[in-house]
Amino acid sequence: MANQEAAGFDGVSDRSALQEFSVSNSESFWAAVARQRLSWIRPFHTVQDCDLSRGEIKWFVGGQLNVSVNCLDRHVHTCPERVALIWERDESGSEVKVTYRSLLEMTCRLGNLLRRHGVKRGDCVTIYMPTCPLAVASMLACARIGAAHNVVFAGFSAEALAERIRDAQSGTVITVNQGVRGGKVTELKKTVDTAVQSCPAVQQVFVAMRTENPVAMTARDVAMEEEMLKEDVVCEPAAMDSEDVLFLLYTSGSTGKPKGLVHTQAGYLLYAALTHRYVFSYHDGDVFGCVADIGWITGHSYSVYGPLANGGTTVLFESTPIYPDPGRYWEMVQRLKINQFYGAPTAIRLLLKYGDEWVHKYDRSTLKTLGSVGEPINTEAWEWYHRVVGDGRCPVVDTWWQTETGGICISPRPSDADAEIVPGMAMRPFFSIKPTLMDTEGKVLTSNDVSGALCIAQPWPGMARTIHNNHQRFIETYCRPHPGYFFTGDGAYRSKEGYYQITGRLDDVINVSGHRIGTAEIEDNQCAAVAESAVIGYSHDLKGQGVYAFVVLKNDVEVQGAALCQQLNNMVSKKIAKYACPDFIQVFVQRLPKTRSGKIMRRVLRKVVERDLDGVGDLSTLDDPTAVQEIIQGHGDLC
């Protein structure tokens, strides 16, 4: 935002002054940004009314707006033919472009259809669809009529879907006949049929057609596209209060039972829009390529709401990084002329295994910024992303945030031309974010070169307001551990220079003879043979906990287990200390247990080592159960 934005604030002349201003005058900062960047039906009278210790968060009180108007109508007035969405269908080379005008039409028809079928303001609509324009229109149609949406990743089983429909108390589901991903057809409508058998509240299921294959329809089902054609292209937007619910979304479930986090209208939208613009240095006319599925918060904030609020052009990626081959992302970058690419470390580590040729084959000269999200990105993956994908020319922004935070909270900002970026570090807080590290006694760590529990010391507009139907769990999880602070559940290190690095989840911290070590610190080893690793703590008679490592090798690597273990131990003892060296290394692991959003589930690995799979807890978000079986069978291959 630099000088032009800074000019709006008294005595603020440059970027770092603006950062400081936004932290110490968060209310004035957000009030000005909200007036400037959102289109209001009624202005707010109170900027914020928050009490973090009680979990009471309200922003822009008294204001009214409509999120779909902010994402669509206002751009249709100025540039109706600008492309809003580029749908990168699973079948590569068959992308579909949707202009702002046609996305508004689609949204309005759908809004009218939902209204005709009795969906009212405050109702919750579950969306179980692949990433596609109709899914985005469904989200925006809910926003238009004041209903909340609950997007469920379309890879979840009937049982996981049913649980989320019930928990959300949703009476309406929107789906497609079949999904297509990685060349495979999935029976999404059939999955919904099974799920709703145990969801008595579901009255209706809208079914769009992703493929040409008809599916059996029941009395409850509505043929969506056919019925949309009967609707008017004008749909009166509901005037929503800033704090009305925009959506609920379940977390990835890496650490336990997923939480249905609730986000509201104005604060969320503003935060998504501002972070999208400044973290990625998004400029008008750029093509923004976030490859996350819309079933995750990254898809919500950076495929849909952030880019559309900014009048941007956003790519909707339906496929996988290796379909039809490991060059998919970069071929897409070339074909769609993508300027900002935003993906997950798990995909980067996977592609790195296939070698550089898949990247070099394609022209990536349009790329300006590369983003990473979801897990710590190890140095080797970071370097590869930067050097090979970005030709050493594009800044890599490692963005730390959570479903709970609504948008990016800590990350480098490439628009600061002279700002340093250290590989593998999330670096700096976003405007108004005040990260705070706590020691194990709950005392604030004030110096640099320290590690602790990452908290945020003051509220920001994008933060979640509650856990659906369970405000008590919200308070206990985020507000009670450190009263007056938002507790993130992650650990971080603040360097001598004051930069932040995420060290992993606090649940996963390993305590060896009194030394607390974050998983990311040990996992980030630069061993040429290793594609990916995960470490956990196990109970150890003398040390309290010992380190147990699981290692996935790169393709076609021939190594002797003992030699590799020696190499890994040397690296860990050099980088951290001897005490951090694994006692056990399980080398011949094909893959690690991950959530469907691609995050390593260390709690599952812990239970494998403890041989207590019954006590493993919620597994509904586990991507591929065979990964666990393989590891159990390989439990003997240790060194």
Q: Which residues bind Mg ion (CB under 5 A)?
A: 251
Is 502 a residue that touches ligand ATP (CB under 6 A)?
yes
For 60, phi and psi rounded to 5 degrees? 55, 50
By CB under 6 A, tell whether 275 contacts ligand ATP. no
455 binds ligand ATP (CB under 6 A): no
- Whole-number Cα distances in Å, 333 to 265, 312, 525, 613: 32, 17, 30, 42
DSSP letter at 579 equals: G
How many CB atoms lie under 10 A from the CB of residue 522?
25
Please name the residues in contact with 630: beta carbons below 8 A apart, sequence gap of 6 or more.
589, 590, 591
- Cβ contact 584:548 at 8 Å: yes
119 versus 262: smaller Cβ distance to Mg ion: 262
Least distance in angstroms from the C-beta of 508 to ligand ATP: 9
Q: For residues 183 and 256, which CB has a smaller minimum distance to Mg ion in the complex? A: 256
- Touching ligand ATP, residues 380-419 (CB under 6 A): 398-403
Q: What is the 3-state secondary structure (H, E, C) of 27-63?
A: HHHHHHHHHHHCCCCECCCEEECCEHHHCECCEEECC
271 binds, among ligand ATP, Mg ion, none (CB under 5 to 8 A by kind): none
Letters for 539-558 (x = contact with ligand ATP by CB under 6 A, - = none) are --------------------
- Identify the burial level of 558 via C-beta atoms within 10 angstroms of its C-beta, where 0-12 means exposed, 13-18 middle and 19 or more buried: exposed
Residues from 417 through 436 that contact ligand ATP (CB under 6 A): 426
Among residues 22 and 251, whose Cβ is nearest to Mg ion?
251
Measured from the CB atom, the residue of 405 and 411 that comes closer to Mg ion is 405
- Looking at 310-445, list the stretches that DSSP marks H as alpha helix, in order from N- to C-terminal side: 328-336, 345-354, 357-360, 379-384
Token match 């032009």: residue? 4
Q: Could you tell me the smallest distance in angstroms from the CB atom of residue 66 to Mg ion? A: 30
Q: Report helix, strand or coil for 578.
A: helix
Residue 374 binding result from ligand ATP, Mg ion, none, given CB thresholds of 5 to 8 Å by partner type: ligand ATP
Closest approach, Cβ 473 to ligand ATP, in A, equals 12
**Half-sphere exposure at residue 547, Cβ-oriented, CA atoms within 13 angstroms:** 30
Q: Does 376 bind ligand ATP (CB under 6 A)?
A: yes
Chain centroid, CA 467 distance in Å: 17
Q: Which strands make up the sheet holding 435-438, listed edge to edge?
A: 444-445, 435-438, 450-456, 486-494, 500-505
Nearest to ligand ATP of 258, 327 (CB atom): 258
CB proximity list for 399: less than 8 A, separation 6 or greater:
279, 342, 371, 372, 373, 408, 410, 411, 426
CB of 490 to Mg ion, least distance (A): 8
**Residue 375, interface with ligand ATP (CB under 6 A)?**
yes
Count of residues that bind ligand ATP according to CB under 6 A: 27
Q: 373 is in the binding site of which of Mg ion, ligand ATP, none (Cβ under 5 to 8 A by kind)?
A: ligand ATP
- Judged by CB under 6 A, the residue of 15, 58, 75, 599 near ligand ATP is 599
6 counts as binding ligand ATP under rule CB under 6 A = no
In angstroms, give the least distance from the CB of 258 to Mg ion. 9
Residue 293 contacts ligand ATP per CB under 6 A: no
Q: Identify which of residues 155 and 258 has a Cβ nearer to Mg ion in the complex.
A: 258
The window from 83-91, 165-173, 368-376, 538-546 that contacts ligand ATP (CB under 6 A) reads 368-376
Site for ligand ATP (CB under 6 A): which residue of 88, 380, 416, 490?
490
Provide the 3-class DSSP secondary structure of residue 79: coil
Q: Which is nearer to ligand ATP, 52 or 427 (CB)?
A: 427
Rule CB under 6 A: is residue 311 a binding residue for ligand ATP? no
Q: Helix, strand or coil for residue 239? A: coil
The answer to whether 468 and 245 have CB atoms below 8 angstroms apart is no
- CB 578 → ligand ATP: shortest distance, Å? 26
Buried/exposed 440-470: b ≥16 CB within 10 Å, e otherwise: eeeeeeeeeeebbbbbbebbbbbbbbbbbee
Q: Which residue is nearest to Mg ion (CB)?
A: 251
Tell me if residue 535 falls in helix, strand or coil: strand
Least distance to ligand ATP, CB of residue 258, Å: 5
Under 8 Å between Cβ of 504 and 490:
yes
Q: State how far the Cα of 299 lies from the Cα of 292, in Å rounded to an integer.
A: 5
Shortest distance in whole angstroms from residue 254 CB to ligand ATP: 3
Q: Which one among 63, 111, 146, 253 touches ligand ATP, defined by CB under 6 A?
A: 253
CA angle 81, 83, 85 (to 5 degrees): 140
Binding part of the chain for ligand ATP, among 130-138, 185-193, 204-212, 372-380 by CB under 6 A, reads 372-380
Please identify, using beta-carbon distances, which residue of 336 and 502 lies nearer to ligand ATP.
Answer: 502
The residues binding ligand ATP (CB under 6 A) are 251-256, 258, 296-297, 373-376, 398-403, 426, 488-490, 502, 505, 597, 599
